[in-house]
Structure 1
Amino acid sequence: MNLQPLYADDAALLLAALRKREPEAFTYLFEQYSDKVYRLAVSLLKDEVSAEGVVQDTFLRLIERLDQFEGRSHLGTWLYRIAYNLSVDRLRKRNPDLVLEDEPEDGRLPIPVHLIDWTQWPEQMLTDAEVTAELDKAIAALPEKFRVVFVLREIEGLSTQETAAITALTISATKVRLHRARLFLREQLTQSLLAIGSEKETNEM
């Protein structure tokens, strides 16, 4: 009997199957989360090979520590947390002075210099591929502590509470970092897309 469709609707059934070391349950979990774990890892590490290593280590760590999972959070949130910690460990090997933990927020936010609404430009001015490429560059340019919050909230679609749990931040700090990430991305996109639009206008003259 194929139990995988049931796992999607019954987290308790999935957890019980995982604790019994049933291969089908691990296959289901890997298929559901391996790509998501990879995206989180590569967004932090900016290295595909290292990110693939994090994926492998994450699922191995889950198997090793499954009995420690208390069920107070969603299994997926716990998996993200493992992947996040493993990614941070690799980052700290590169940069021992790296700081990603929560810190006092003074409430002051950077004020973008450019606030042009580029979404109102003529459709023919920019292609979806150009916008996507520039967005990818802007996300990659975010400082790690802002980038991970943005990826979890806006790309993976997790809640503020889940993101805070994964990154060991307060709810307030999570919201502040997400807001700062959005401001940074808006300004970066405005500048880069303005440059592309201006170049196209020049070429058409």
Structure 2
Amino acid sequence: MFSRLTASKSAGAQTTTPPPDDLLVAGLRAGDPGAVESLLAKYEARTHRLALGITRNSADAEEVCQDVFLNVFKNIEGFEGKSSLGTWIYRIATNAALMKIRGKARSVELPWDEVLPRFSQEGSHLTPVPDWSKDPEAALLQTELRTVLGQALEELPGEYRAVVLLRDVEGLPTDEAANALGLTVPALKARLHRGRLFLRGRLGEYAEKRGRLTPKGIAE
């Protein structure tokens, strides 16, 4: 990755707080090598995490990450500042990662009816949704739950997966995540809601098989 290309320059240097994005942009436009290192220090790990989350493949994530920063360096003059630098990078990364997986997998229709909660005519849950936080042994299941959650994420189409990752893993505010994905806020909220419910349903299936309670951590 690009960090390896700059390792010789940064070796032995003390870790410093990256400069604000406006200074990073100015430095990149001026061809400052220090700005390149600062950009990578600030955004490389996040970008790789997002790419890996979408592609679910280490080699693909590496390629996406390299393509992202090549695009950033190549097109920095065209960055207009209408969004934050981070949001712009996330948009490039998301598009690159989605393009990568679209070339490998056919579209799969999610079995929403099987995993989304069912409601009565009065609007209440037909099947109670228990709270796993009351289970004293829940902490022992964290490793298994992470595995199940990873498998459930792989079932989500890339467009839904990207929304969940940006909001629930990277912690982007709703408006920034929508901007990064080129969606309206209502559209993003709809995808996020359905994606979360799908993940909750899959975790619920796991919990039922284990005789455990359904996780509270996945929002309704």
**Which amino acid is the alignment partner of residue 64 of structure 1?**
K
User: Which runs of structure 1 show a deviation greater than 4 angstroms over 4 or more consecutive aligned residues?
Assistant: 95-98
2:152 to 138, 147, 152: 138
Q: TM-score, normalised by structure 2?
A: 0.75
Q: Cα RMSD (Å) of the superposition?
A: 2.7
Q: Quick one: percent identity of the two aligned structures?
A: 37
Tell me, yes or no, if structure 1 residue 93 matches structure 2 residue 99. no
- Listed one character per residue, the Cα deviations across residues 92-122 of structure 1 (whole Å, up to 9, x for unaligned) are 3235879xxxxxxxxxx94356733223222
CA distance in 1, matches of 2:15, 2:22: 13
Aligned residue for 2:46? 36
Distance 1:155 1:124, change over 3 A: closer
Tell me, yes or no, if structure 1 residue 61 matches structure 2 residue 71. yes
Following superposition of structure 1 onto structure 2, how do residues 44-55 of structure 1 map, counting pairs within 5 Å?
A: 44-55=54-65
**Which amino acid is the alignment partner of residue 160 of structure 2?**
F
Higher helix share: 1
Tell me, yes or no, if structure 1 residue 189 matches structure 2 residue 203. yes
Aligned residue for 1:5? 17
The question of whether the paired residues in 1 share the 8 Å contact of 2:87 and 2:176 is answered with: yes
Deviation at 1:190, TM superposition (A): 1.4
1:26 to 27, 36, 39: 36
Distance 1:150 1:52, change over 3 A: same
Aligned residue for 2:91? 81
The question of whether the paired residues in 1 share the 8 Å contact of 2:132 and 2:138 is answered with: no
Instruction: Report the secondary structure of 1:16's partner residue.
Output: helix
The question of whether the paired residues in 2 share the 8 Å contact of 1:134 and 1:189 is answered with: yes
Q: Give the unaligned 5+ runs of structure 2.
A: 1-13, 109-114, 119-126, 213-220
CA distance in 2, matches of 1:191, 1:52: 33
- Listed one character per residue, the Cα deviations across residues 45-93 of structure 1 (whole Å, up to 9, x for unaligned) are 2211011000011001111101000011110111111111111222232
2:117 to 111, 133, 144: 111
Deviation at 1:177, TM superposition (A): 0.7
Q: Give the unaligned 5+ runs of structure 1.
A: 99-108, 199-205
Deviation at 1:4, TM superposition (A): 5.0
**Which amino acid is the alignment partner of residue 66 of structure 1?**
I
